[in-house]
Structure 1
């Protein structure tokens, strides 16, 4: 069985955070000094609220190097917080990454194919290291827990906000976790795909894939459209993100935000609205994602919960090749200009793995045969951005992390210290020996003092061989406090 290489962590790790706008940052108060963790390393300051936003299908090269129309994400937001240059997906294509993120389950054949048939996994029997045997299907049995179930046990409030969910009730059940139908028997064919009226897709919502969630009405009540739901016969009204952010008392401690298939950068040309305000503008990709982030990030940053003890995380599910030929959305395929997944292309950052990722019991490789490659060992380098009062603005880390690292870090942050694959609260491969959770390179402003935004790269934390190694950042400019 997997063991936690760093010992039992019964404390709550607190996540660091730096404010994004000087006027917002200035409202923050400083916190006390830094405690020591059980292993002698500095403990991260306590964080009370997390917002995780998941975007789609972009390599680090395409997102964070200026190739595309996404200045807000690749230039503005890193100046408010931390750019993780070595953050990796765990597989191809989308769905296996979402399942790994919230449950620690490794890729399986159908979820690597984005679940062509929404049906229960078979055989669903236990395997070693908290894994499950899956030869077909995508919906895991009730015996497979998720981070959301762990939060339930800790009595930590949470919510999933899914943009567009429920706009077409015949496509998805907004009152049952956004499922596209019943997964029993033959299930539901082709459960994902946006329409002009409804750009929600179930494969980008982590809830529909676990009976441990969809069979519990109380949990499904926490899976809501981004803008909420009005009261209907038999169903009370459900508040959306903006309404919940109005006060700290109504803000969940953990919030997962799933943009629709346009706003998450997935679709090259959006089927419907891209939030530009122009009904004739359907440009998608990172252009549309920037429009979404420019609407949602300021809402969160102005909220009392974020200003108190919050952290925003912007992740991508997996890496696709650089975006040169097709600009903003379609991978840099060679040939006659027809995008084909079988056409060789520049896959340098798109098919690599990190962190000693294991393939699991269901696939020979974790990454599937993507981009014309015979074998692909992982989900590629996507990069990520974190913003919080305990993160130095403009900082960069080159420590490798992946989706299993993220899950382990969230479990530690919320004080989940029992159960899981290692007995210390870590599910599936989040319990892998030696897996690095977020450390002082992420939580790098431990006193929480308000700092002004800075150009990304003013403090760079090089990768180290071990989590026990001291963090020695290369600093090219001093941090400037907000006065």
Structure 2
């Protein structure tokens, strides 16, 4: 669907609840903040399984002009990022693309649009859910100490997710790119850096899974099945060898798969939203037989948290 935000809400609940905009939480027009507990992270919480959101550019100190720096705030100063922001600061250098630009967007984190996972309309460190939202820098530390959550959402800023080109373009493998090609090169560079870091971790090696997920295709009339999105699964339990599945998938397939993996369901032991629709395929074809089951998952959780 277009624009981005409905897809991230769908990623959590199998439903966009009628939201068809990119508004920040609690902003008008209304409809962007949901009071339901029927979404993935809420079900994980109820089952005693952890979740965490790593967002690039959040929880960084600001200079005297109110612009970002590279200093990560102490944990007790972290907040729930309820407002999008962007800018350029000479006191900030992005560790992936080397620029002084930053651009955080709420629309790329579905957790922020549910009251029980955003902690209410409180952007201060007093928000009870603040510890659930970590700066991306924290991921490396959590991987090193084997403290990652059962389910983690990792979101680069809009310069590192292939969304927006840097003002001066980007040099990648000896070639200078501008425009859309720059945006794609920036995203590829980000993945080429962070994916190996995750794959070196004990959490990944112990039957973890990385899913590289895109929210929408290009074009104004792309809300149909003639437009497809790439999705890449990397895991010791994946079939591997560049296996290409020919099964039809939607964003509901992701949700159905994670519900099966974690053993969490809506009342009546059904899948959430459209994940429960007939014909919604899970990711079984991408994994080795039996991988998408909750058997043994709690033992993994007890070992890593």
**TM-score band, normalised by shorter chain:** 0.7 to 0.9
CA-based RMSD of the aligned residues comes to 3.2
The 8 Å contact of residues 55 and 135 in structure 2, kept in 1 or not, is answered as yes
For 1:156 and 1:294, the matched residues in 2 are separated by 29
Q: CA deviation at 1:215?
A: 1.8
Alignment of 1:51-450 (within 5 A): 91-106=1-16, 108=18, 111-115=19-23, 118-119=25-26, 136-167=29-60, 175-180=78-83, 192=84, 194-196=86-88, 197-215=101-119, 217-227=127-137, 240-248=138-146, 250-267=147-164, 269-270=165-166, 284-321=182-219, 350-353=222-225, 380-392=227-239, 393-419=241-267, 423-439=268-284, 441-444=285-288
Sort the Cα spacing of 1:145 and 1:176 in 2 relative to 1 into closer, same or farther, 3 A: farther
Shift of 1:176: 3.6
SS state at 2:34 partner: coil
Instruction: Say if 1:146 and 1:212, in contact at 8 Å, map to a contact too.
Output: no
Q: Secondary structure at the match of 2:129?
A: helix
- The TM-score normalised by the length of structure 1 is 0.48
TM-score (norm 2): 0.74
Q: Is the 8 A contact 1:247 1:303 kept in 2?
A: no
Residue 160 of structure 1: SS of its match in structure 2?
strand
* Other structure's SS at 2:144 match: coil
Q: Which structure shows the bigger proportion of residues in helix conformation?
A: 2
Give the secondary-structure state (helix, strand or coil) at the position aligned to 1:164: coil
* Structure 2: gaps spanning 5 or more residues: 89-100, 121-126, 292-305
Which structure has more relative contact order (CA 8 Å, sep 6+)? It is 1
Unaligned runs of 5+ in 1: 1-90, 122-135, 181-191, 228-239, 322-340, 342-346, 355-379, 448-483
Distance 2:236 2:114 in 1: 34
- Name the structure 2 match of 1:334: none
Quick check: which has more Rg, 1 or 2? 1
| Closer, same or farther: CA 140–431 of 1 in aligned 2, 3 Å | farther
Conserved? CA contact 2:59–2:135, under 8 Å: yes
Deviation at 1:351, TM superposition (A): 3.3
Check whether the contact 2:37–2:43 (CA below 8 A) recurs between aligned residues.
no
- Give me the whole-angstrom Cα distance separating, in 1, the residues matched to 2:270 and 2:27: 26
Aligned partners of 2:217 and 2:130: how far apart in 1? 30
Query: In structure 2, what is the Cα distance between the partners aligned to 1:221 and 1:314?
Result: 24
1:330 corresponds in structure 2 to none
Equivalent residues of 1:177, 1:220 under 8 A apart: yes
Residues 1:308 and 1:427: Cα distance change in structure 2 (over 3 Å): same
